Structure 1
Amino acid sequence: MVCHARLLGLLFALLPSLASAQVESDVAKAERWPETEEWSSEDWADLMVELPAPEGELSITEVTLSRADWLAEAGRQADAALAAGDWARAEYRLGQALAEYPDAHDTRLRLAAMQFGRGALDDARALLQQGLALAPEHADMRLALARLLASQSRHAAALRVLDEVSPLLARHLDYYSLKAEMARRSGNCVLAMPLYQRLLDTAGTGAWWLGLGLCQRELGLDFAPAFREALASADLGNASLRFVEQQLEQYGTAQTD
């Protein structure tokens, strides 16, 4: 009887999945049996049987999204929030995406543009500066920061941001156009003029002709040819056209005096 009890104790240690109540019942049963009684195969089978899993048990599998899927989902949620007029929710969702992936530069640019749009210039500037600390060569981020500074009439600061890297001009015309304009507005026409000339080698844009002419006038050079080219362009606004016409009239009058 003692032998049977020890045997059941050993089984209890080896089979932790058995219910304790069932084991205790079997131990008591063994103690009541005569010492000469042998274990049947059916008794062993009862001890070895595996209890069924409870019905309705849930199996939870964690799904991990890839970086691209995660950012795409954040963008979709931001779009949905904007469509519902919930600007704050859209910014919050993009901010979550950046917290997860700080090098998601397109997401950073979008969030900065939203902040800029609602007038949160300090927040947008800080966000872009953080991005440039991670990716100093990112031309679009530099352009966005320079535009923000230009909107505050901080022309020298904007020029400094743009002057730190030199992306390929053919792919970044807007970058060099703003750089030339910031150089001119900062009083650095010596830097601005060659930039305008490089830009004009790619396209005869009226704003670039006007910028070149203004620098030439500032330096006491003949600006009339550049102004005439600007006047003949199709992309100048009415205010700029009137200014150019006035300057050419004054120039013509000065030449005939």
Structure 2
Amino acid sequence: MQQNNINLSGMSTSQQELFEYMSETLQTSEKGLLEMQQSNPQNFQKLVEKMKRTMRREKAKQRKNKEEPEIVSSSKKIKRKKEDDDPLRDNDKKTIQMIRNRISAQNSRDRKKQYLHQLESQAQKELDYNNDLRKQLEDLQEKHQKLTNKSSKIRNQLTILQQLGRGSRLGKISLASLDPCVSVFKQQHQTITTPLVKIEEMSSESAMRPINYEKSYSIIDTNTFFEEEKLGVGVSEESENCYNQLLPISLYRLNSQIEYELGQHS
């Protein structure tokens, strides 16, 4: 193809197809194309290049449309063949997956229940242990209170005996009766001749004797008192029982004698 003139008889098949395509697209004849070429050769050449690209794209689309039905049909055949070879259909696969999901969910719920049961059991054990500790604490507090009350009573009586003084016979006997650890006096060192059970037989004359205030003892001087008087003290398993039985009687008699002596000296 030359720019100044078009000789259709000397063109190749592709060039002839191009000019035919241009005639159909531009709706003009070959004579009109020659006039366009002669009037403006540069624009006509650009138009020819553009029409070439357009024609190539359309031919490619036509080939693709022809090939696609074959590809689609072949893919359907392949899929149908796979379905025939696979014993499990889509519905069967969905059913199997649904069953697996249910089994997994049930296992998860079972694990959660087991874990919660373990936590509840552990919490109950901790509560029981806490209750046992509280009960033990209450028992210890009660015992402590009882011991505190006993100690307070003994201290009060010892304070009164301290005021009576060391020389008082009543003070000696009462100190021996108030000591919770005294159970047996050693015979070879025993100096008290009047038994505790004969305190009631004390005459009023002995009770009216003047009290010796040469030396007084504090609340914690009972051990010193027994050492100076050569009293042997033995601790036995029955001391606590003897103390619980003897202390109320001795305190009652002691209070009676103290009231009597205070009445005589007042």
With normalisation by structure 2, the TM-score equals 0.24
Q: Which has the larger radius of gyration?
A: 2
Larger relative contact order, structure 1 or 2 (CA cutoff 8 Å, min sep 6) = 2
Larger helix fraction of residues: 2
With normalisation by structure 1, the TM-score equals 0.25
